[in-house]
Amino acid sequence: ISDKMDDAEDIVTYEEAVKADERRIVFTGPRRAGKSSIERVIFHKMSPHETLFLESTHNVDIHLIANNAFVKFQTWDFGGDMNLEHGVRYQNKVISPETILKGCSTLVYVIDAQEDDYEDSLPKLVETIVTAHKINPLIHFEVFLHKIDGDSMAEELRAERQQGIQNYVSAELSEINGDVLVSYYLTSIYDHSALEAFSKVVQKLVVQLPILNSLLDKLIESCVVEKTYLLDVFTKLYIATDSNPVDGHTYELCSDLVDVVIDVSCIYGLSPQDGAAIPYDQESSSAIHLNSGMVLYLREVSRYLALVCVIKEEYFLKRSLLDYNINCLRASLDQVLSESSDF
């Protein structure tokens, strides 16, 4: 799997970096806020503890993420705040701020929640949003209040700091441009909060999201399924889900199920001819029965995409009906992808 990941996350050349019509997610924010850690843990399968030894990013690191039709974009990881005046050097050439922002799909601004002087970064955050919005009004703005690890920050303090940031940014933007929408998330790489937050970030880039959500709604209605997630196998980001509320604990179990399937398949599912290919294909499936009386059921539905259903045991007994409807969903998903590629 590591070789496949390396292929999918190649470093981007300068020509590819400035190429038009590429989706780009830009990470920026104060130094040591955790931008590289988030990017490496989610997209490069790095252990959270290994990020402690990461060196500070100089200028910018650009990678291509190409896992499947939905998770396909460049990540731009800036060392500190983006220089809005002089641009950035990449492979001995300068990329101007205008070029960066015109091609930017999403701007993720990361703030270290544990720093006492975190408020010092807020004027720069507002400046970045205002400048970026003027150049490209279509950018999605996402603010990660990061490093809310375990018991290191009380729940009240997390909520207080998030509310304080929202109030400050909203007040500043209302005086300049009230049309800018900014989303806020509390994140940590030591639990699934960063994955859940980034799932919502990536979903905004999925043009077919309403169709995917509708297909999943039809599935839970037909088979009395409690919850469904369409997961990217590499990152475990959920690309789509049904209209039922998302439960963080349930999503954590579903993403862990993907790990179990891949780990077991690496042991028993690879033949010598497979080489380093990820052991995941159209035959991949798994069912885990929980003590709560629920069943987690995973099926492959497209290239490196997994559908995970949360269903009661009594309804899972009608597995043939569930499998039939999942096959129908898979056919519909293939049609959506085919029409998208034609377009």
What value does the mean pLDDT take over residues 36-55?
91
- 3-state SS, residue 208: coil
Whole-Å CA distances, 260 to 47, 236, 265:
16, 12, 8
Can you say whether the dihedral through the CA atoms of 303, 304, 310, 314 is positive or negative? Answer: positive
pTM: 0.90
Q: Which residue has the higher pLDDT, 153 or 276?
A: 153
* Alpha carbons 62 and 80: distance in angstroms, whole number: 14
What value does the mean pLDDT take over residues 309-323?
94
What value does the mean pLDDT take over residues 131-135?
92
Whole-Å CA distances, 138 to 38, 109, 141, 284:
24, 16, 9, 38
Of 169-173, 180-184, 277-281, 323-327, the range with the lowest mean pLDDT is: 277-281
Per-residue pLDDT tens digits for 4-17: 444 444 789 999 99
Q: What is the structure's pLDDT at 4?
A: 43
Q: What is the structure's pLDDT at 85?
A: 77
Look at residue 47 and tell me whether its pLDDT is greater than 80.
yes
Q: Which residue has the higher pLDDT, 330 or 1?
A: 330
Can you say whether the dihedral through the CA atoms of 268, 274, 277, 282 is positive or negative? Answer: negative
Q: What is the structure's pLDDT at 56?
A: 82
Contact of 63 with 97, CB cutoff 8 Å: no
* Alpha carbons 32 and 55: distance in angstroms, whole number: 10
Res. 70 pLDDT band, cuts 50 70 90: very high
What value does the mean pLDDT take over residues 82-98?
86
- 3-state SS, residue 82: coil
